[in-house]
A and B are shown apart, each in its own frame.
Chain A
Amino acid sequence: MNRTHRTALLKEQLKKRILVLDGAMGTAIQDLNLTAEDFGGPELEGCNEHLVLTRPEVITSIHEAYLRAGADIIETDTFGATPVVLDEFGLADKTQRINEEAARVARRAAEKYSTPDRPRFVAGSIGPTTKAISVTGGISFQELVENFYAQASALYSGGADYFLIETCQDTRNVKAALLAIRRLFETEEAIPVAVSGTIEPMGTMLAGQTVEAFVASLAHEDLLYVGLNCATGPEFMTDHLRSMAGLSPFAVACVPNAGLPDEDGNYLETPAMMSEVLSRFIEKGWVNLLGGCCGTRADHTAAFAKLAEGKTPRAVHPACSSFLSGLEFLEVSDDVRPVLVGERTNVIGSRMFKQLIVDGNFEQASEIARSQVKMGAQIIDVCLANPDRDEKADMKAFMEILIQKVKVPFMIDSTDPEVIDLALSYCQGKSIINSVNLEDGEERFEQVVPIAKKYGAALVVGTIDDDPEQGMGVSRERKLQIATRSYDLLVNKYGVAPEDIYWDPLVFPCGTGDANYVGSAEETVEGIRLIKAKFPKTRSVLGISNVSFGLPPAGREVLNAVFLYHCVQAGLDLAIVNSQKLERFASISDADKTICDNLLFNRTEDPVAEFAAHFRSKKPGKKKNIGAELPLDERLANYIVEGSKDGLVADLDLKLKDAKPLEIINGPLMAGMDEVGRLFNDNKLIVAEVLQSAEAMKAAVAHLEPHMEMNESSSRGKVLLATVKGDVHDIGKNLVDIILTNNGFEVINLGIKVPPQSLIEAIEKYNPDIVGLSGLLVKSAQQMVVTASDFAEAGIKTPIIVGGAALSEGFVDKRISKAYATGTVAYAPDAMKGLELAKTIVDPDSFESLKSRLTQRRATAAAGESSQGTRTGASASTERSTKVDVLADVPHAPDLERHLLLGKTPIDQIWKFINPMMLYGRHLGVRGKVVRLLNEVSERPAVKKEIAALDPKAFSIWEAVEAIKSEYRSSKQMRAAAVYQFFKVYSKGNSIHFVRADGTQEAMEFPRQSKSPNYCLADFVSPDPIKGDTLGVFAVTVGSGIREEAEKLKQAGDYLRSHILQALALESAEAYAEFLHAQMRRMWGFGDSPETTMLERFQAKYRGKRYSFGYPACPRLSDQERVFALLRPEEIGIQLTDGFMMDPEASVTALVFHHPQAAYFSVGQTEDSDEG
């Protein structure tokens, strides 16, 4: 069978059924544990491609295993067989041999297994090379073309049925490969070409393109199929595959990895797990080919072949809409008109940009493009046609930087075909060339259209022709006439798709007084209407600002906005504007609109003069007042009322001659403050004035305080305060400090974690009247006993006041007071009682009375105290809730008892699971429906415009979040890790018993609701100890040091970024929990359906639930210790603090239950209906 027949057969088969590609070559080779010798020596170990020369039978056996398993297509062992990659092993000179032989080996295997009913095919695998030109650089576009040419020509010679450019990470590499193949076909019979991209977990290709943009970039080619392979398991391809299937004019392939690798590099998804997801893709009608990438083996292929058998392939439809792309996709449709084209990166239109280019400041020049995008530009016009400079060199230098900064499509604005060609070689996406016309007949079409087809670009077509009288179409009729001629040539002669034609019906200045252009604005508007009506599949574009050229600056943007409005009403699709200055039409006053309309449509006698006179601007001014002169007391009061300090001190000194400080404060000064309050209440003072009054009052008191008599300000006593050793909590102590200080005590606050010896030294140094000891933790109570005992041993007799949540009067009486035989210990249940005690102790008589009371009480208690009740809020019952069924069958958990560590989950994968309502709504304060739209941005970039219009602030927050993501994506602070394990368990009463592999058990008890439905978490686990049940436990963390990093940002005044960073970290941990929970459900065998939306996941609409300690169903935070004992989260860097908090804070632990009736509830609830 010759090539022509094989190609026809391949295409026919692809139409008839879902074809199956083979599995991973690398995995199969790895499984064979080959030696260095097999590869051709130690220096070649790992060069899988070389095996076709050294061990061809091994590669044949792999091919045959896949063919036996049911593969329709096998890929040549040439993924890395471009010269540039082979050169890393010093094998570049064997490129031809390796590729040719690899194709032959595969060809032979395919032939062996082909039958008339079941032909098998060979895909010539062309990998991405090790150079993603837009990302890593290190190679020129032309060098890439040469590399791909060398590989493609050899694969062709060896007999590949089609070229498969796969694992594409950078569409510029793809374009280079396609150009190389096109060159090959100039001399050889063409065979089909397929392209398969790799969408990274961050949601784009490595070089940044979204899947839609990727498809748009390739739509001009005649491909056998496009597809997705590698990077993730099938689940995470869902959205991308859906998008690709919706947009692709070609067949679609899905070739996922066997999930994500674990810490040891093992891929975890079994054939059954992958098939479950892939079957949904088939049901949805999204695929024409299935296959497996990394981690898949022959058993996966067999499963896929079974899956594909008899199934209907996706129906392929040609594209019929206008779209462009950069890194992002942009569909130009009636829904999004007008698409804004940023005009400021144009040396003809922007003096600033021109100067930056002249200065060689390309970095700064590219910032103009970025800011245009920020302000709403969806396409960037790039023009570097400065006649005084080398346009090509400038374009090269500028594009190299620009492509790193801007994601939107580019409009390459040049008359030089070479410059256009060069610029397009930098564009991953589908750009638009500005422009071609018939000014010199067809010459420009002939020069530029082939370049457009080469790179897949759209064309701006100006309504200019070669009419010697009036080349430029000014009237509406001329515009239509030129457009009609151009359309006929471009579509019928040059093969340009109507959807790729963007008419420029030309804009002329309406305010320069040039008689030729009077009324031209209206002609342009009507010209658009006529052209769009005649050629409905085409699009239109206008350089809006031209219309206001020569008019006063104050009115230009207003006129531009009004003109734009009329053009859009007439059908304009793209508007080239200064997006940073564009006025919103809706915010223009009616008067301004009328003036503009008069000028645009030439409605008054002298609309230009009227326009200039109208746009004159004015600025308002402001003034302030001061107070008056009065007798001393009134004057003092008036200083306060007026908030004036001028002369205040002198008058206070004067008043001090006949009054005490307190009398002055409580007298005239307070009278002033009262008046301030009255005036403020009556709305006669504003807040700012009131504050001035308060400042004056403060200044007055500060001046008077040093004049107060000693007895007015002397200390009541000295108190030494400390939180005991091992405890960091001292809110209570601080309150005591505040209260004591403000009530005349001198307080020496020793801080937290103070050991007894330090206290003893401080007591000796300061000789306090009282020592105050505080502590929150249970262990602090014991520490107080130790401290008191040490005091006694040191012979200290200073009275002690103890306080803190872990103490009780009984404990103080029985334990601490006994340990402090040398002195008195009194218990202060709160700060106020502390002050009462302090006052009592410093008063000798009261102190004696206190000692007597304490002694008496303690003696009585020792003689025989009664015990206190120990009721708890939760029920003491251990009876299982009748509302929870005991499951007859419990799902099997794979990897039971296996301690699974994940350290390589890409952060972008995790971010997909961030709940936008939580991140944007609850943390960042974005409100309304825009929160939900923010979640769609990654999938529908066009939604950005909607968000920007709906809520610019929300949009700016989204941008700030994205910026933080970019900045911290690879940082150690955002490094995610997880540990999880399935345990064999059973329940008994309120406990869950964890059964270890060695038979040992550990029980964890949970509180039970005291009221119906009397839930306890143990109810969601089977009580059968023989059959047992399974329970998942996990801990996830997202990096460390976030708080410190956020603090740094905050200290630098970068509050928003600080806030976002923390919120992102916390929600990333939550997202990771959501992600892992989904994974665990799949492992249990009840994974989410493809229809399951993220929103449904966030609403826990799946089988089972996960619970974290500290929440109402299991509020005891101290039980975290049990989780740590079971799971050892320390292995992924999570530590448990004294207060049972996790460090890093962005960490989550959870118990995962599979019981379908598992519900969220509160053990302290008061209502019967607290489920869900």
Chain B
Amino acid sequence: MKADELWKKAPASVLTTGIGSLPHPYVDAALQFSFQMNVPFLPQLPARNPKEFMIGQALDRLPGLFLEEGGVAKIKIEDWEKGAAKMRETIEAALVLQKQEAFEVFLPDADAWSAWTPFLFELEERNIPFAKIHLAGPLTCQWALQLEDGTPAHKRPEVGMQVYKLTLVRAIAMIRKLCALGVTPLFYVDEPGFYGFTKSNPTHVTGLSELKLFIQTLQKEKALVGLHCCSNTDWKAVLNLPVDVLSFDTHLSLDAILAQKDSVQTFLGRGGRFSFGIVPTAVHSVKIMSFTPELLVDTFLDSVRRHYPEGTPAALLKQCLITPACGLALHRIEDAETILTYTLECARIINTL
């Protein structure tokens, strides 16, 4: 199915959604937050459990995986070796033999993702046809995972490959679950580790090609695929990825992205959309309160106009998504609620343009 068809299920106005994590300890409260966006999003709630940190969630059930108290994901290699064959077999039952029940094994577990089934439940109860889900991407997962002594685990290619496959099979399982509910998934691949991409780094080079295949695979599953990267990187390379949505922190990266005018044009030309992280999240909460939605939108528009003095491409704003710049897990709940309010308000203002 073409992306255009999938987008038809999205709300007609400027879309609002959240990025990954929330600070709420209660699933209910987090979902109340999420469902105020016109594209509800699946929240990660690391306040509940370190396993809900992005890497722990994505790699849940990887043999030998253990999480240090603050969420550092490590792998006990001897345990991984003991369980790797079985895990490979299970992944292959899903990806190779395409056994649906094998995919279901990889659906988010309540232990590591407490909001998953409640989120699905709410989607169905509220009859919502379009929603965003989110998973730490295969590159960040491979690069973040460490052996017990702190060595990057991806230095063992067989570990890296299993991490890649695990994130892929989990992503497919999640997408299929939403599709089965009649919900079109907007799937964000979260790749903060993509920062500083350079073609002189072989890990990055292979990572880019792996990411491309990852995205293509998810699109074949009838998902719209977004890439979230809340850092500066080689935007030209990223814009050339076949993503449907590119999500970023506008304060950090808008200028760098719009500077790639040709790539942006190509991206928009093939139906790509930007997910603007307009409301800052990387500053102290008191400082957040010193902004107003109007000021945030004005600052954003000034940047856009600076790059397009001849006139802003219609697709840039009309088809965009508005979000907080990043996940909110490290904020206080009341600040997160304010950021939500600002996000909705910014979208309302942009919608009137």
Contacts and interface: CB of A to CB of B under 8 A. Distances in A.
Interface of A: 661-662, 665-666, 669-670, 673-674, 676-677, 680-681, 683, 687-688, 690-691, 693-695, 697-699, 701-702, 704-705, 708, 712, 723, 728-735, 737-739, 741-743, 747-749, 751-752, 776, 804-808, 829-833, 835, 868-874, 917-918, 921-925, 927, 1007, 1043, 1046-1047, 1050, 1055, 1058-1059, 1062-1063, 1108, 1110-1112, 1115-1117, 1139, 1141, 1145, 1162-1166
Contacts of A731: 46, 53, 70-71, 329-330
28 contacts: A665-B202, A677-B212, A687-B95, A697-B209, A701-B157, A723-B70, A734-B53, A734-B70, A738-B192, A739-B192, A739-B231, A741-B143, A747-B150, A752-B68, A776-B330, A808-B283, A833-B282, A835-B231, A870-B286, A922-B118, A925-B117, A1043-B49, A1062-B111, A1111-B28, A1111-B32, A1112-B337, A1164-B334, A1166-B36
A739 B144 CA distance: 8
A832 B252 contact: yes
Contacts of B242: 681
Chain B facing A: main interface SS: helix
B193 to A, nearest CB: 5
Contacts of B217: 680, 687, 690
A677 B337 contact: no
A674 B206 CA distance: 11
Interface stretch (B7-15, B127-135, B260-268, B338-346): B338-346
A741 B144 CA distance: 9
B159 to A, nearest CB: 10
Q: Which 8 A-B pairs give the minimum distances between C-beta atoms?
A: A730-B70, A1164-B337, A873-B338, A673-B209, A922-B118, A830-B282, A688-B96, A808-B284
A871 B289 contact: yes
Grouping DSSP codes into helix (H, G, I), strand (E, B) and loop, the A interface class, with mixed when no group exceeds half, is helix
A922 B196 contact: no
B161 interface: yes
A728 B69 CA distance: 6
A701 B202 contact: yes
B303 interface: no
Contacts of A927: 120-121, 124, 181
Given A924-B117, A1043-B111, A1163-B334, 16 more contacts: A676-B209, A677-B212, A681-B216, A687-B168, A694-B210, A733-B70, A734-B70, A738-B140, A739-B193, A739-B231, A742-B195, A748-B150, A805-B330, A832-B230, A832-B231, A927-B120
Contact of A743 (B61, B181, B195): B195
B81 interface: no
Contacts of A1059: 109-111
Interface in B331-353: 331-335, 337-338, 340-341, 344-345
A639 to B, nearest CB: 14
Interface in B290-344: 290, 326, 329-335, 337-338, 340-341, 344
Nearest to A776: B330
Most buried by A among B72, B286, B334, B338: B334
B71 A666 contact: no
Contacts of B340: 1164
Contacts of A1111: 26, 28-29, 32
A804 B285 CA distance: 11
A835 B232 CA distance: 11
Given A741-B143, A1063-B110, A1112 B157 contact: no
Interface in B69-117: 69-72, 92, 95-96, 105, 109-111, 117
Interface string B29-68: 1001100100000000011110001010000010000001
Contacts of A747: 150
Contact of B213 (A676, A705, A732, A1110): A676
Contact of A680 (B150, B196, B213): B213
A732 B71 CA distance: 10
B95 A691 contact: yes
A669 B208 CA distance: 13
Contacts of B196: 739, 742-743, 835
A698 B160 contact: yes
B334 A699 contact: no
A749 B24 CA distance: 27
Given A742-B196, A1062-B110, A1108-B26, A873 B289 contact: yes
Nearest to A698: B157
Nearest to A870: B286
Contacts of A676: 209, 213
B80 to A, nearest CB: 14
Contacts of A832: 195, 230-232, 252
Nearest to B181: A927
A674 B209 contact: yes
B25 A742 contact: no
From B110, B140, B210, B220, name the one whose CB has the most chain A CB atoms within 10 angstroms.
B110
B46 to A, nearest CB: 6
Nearest to B329: A731
Given A805-B330, A924-B117, A677 B213 contact: yes
A829 B195 contact: no
B270 interface: no
B72 A734 contact: yes
Given A677-B213, A738-B140, A872 B289 contact: yes
B195 A1164 contact: no
A690 B330 CA distance: 37
B203 A742 contact: yes
Interface string B248-268: 000010000000000000000
Among B24, B32, B157, B160, residue most surrounded by chain A Cβ atoms (within 10 Å) = B157
A749 to B, nearest CB: 6
B157 A702 contact: yes
B165 interface: yes
B263 to A, nearest CB: 17
A751 B70 contact: yes
Contacts of A807: 284
Contacts of B231: 739, 831-832, 835
Nearest to B212: A677
Contacts of B216: 677, 680-681
Interface string B132-172: 00000000100110000010100101001100110010000
B205 A690 contact: no
A959 B332 CA distance: 40
A31 to B, nearest CB: 45
B287 interface: yes
A1164 B117 contact: no
A855 B216 CA distance: 50
Contacts of B26: 1108, 1110-1111
Contact of A1055 (B109, B209, B220, B332): B109
B157 A1058 contact: no
Which of A669, A732, A832, A1141 is packed against the most chain B CB atoms within 10 Å?
A832
A1043 B49 CA distance: 10
B192 A923 contact: no
Nearest to A664: B202
Contacts of B36: 1166
Contacts of A1063: 110
Given A674-B209, A738-B144, A873-B289, A1164 B200 contact: no
A869 B290 CA distance: 6
Contact of A1166 (B209, B290, B345): B345
A499 B215 CA distance: 66
Contacts of B47: 1139, 1141
Contact of A869 (B155, B193, B252, B289): B289
A872 B335 CA distance: 8
A1110 B118 contact: no
Contacts of A733: 70
B143 A742 contact: yes
Contacts of A833: 282
B346 to A, nearest CB: 12
Contacts of B25: 1110, 1117, 1139, 1141
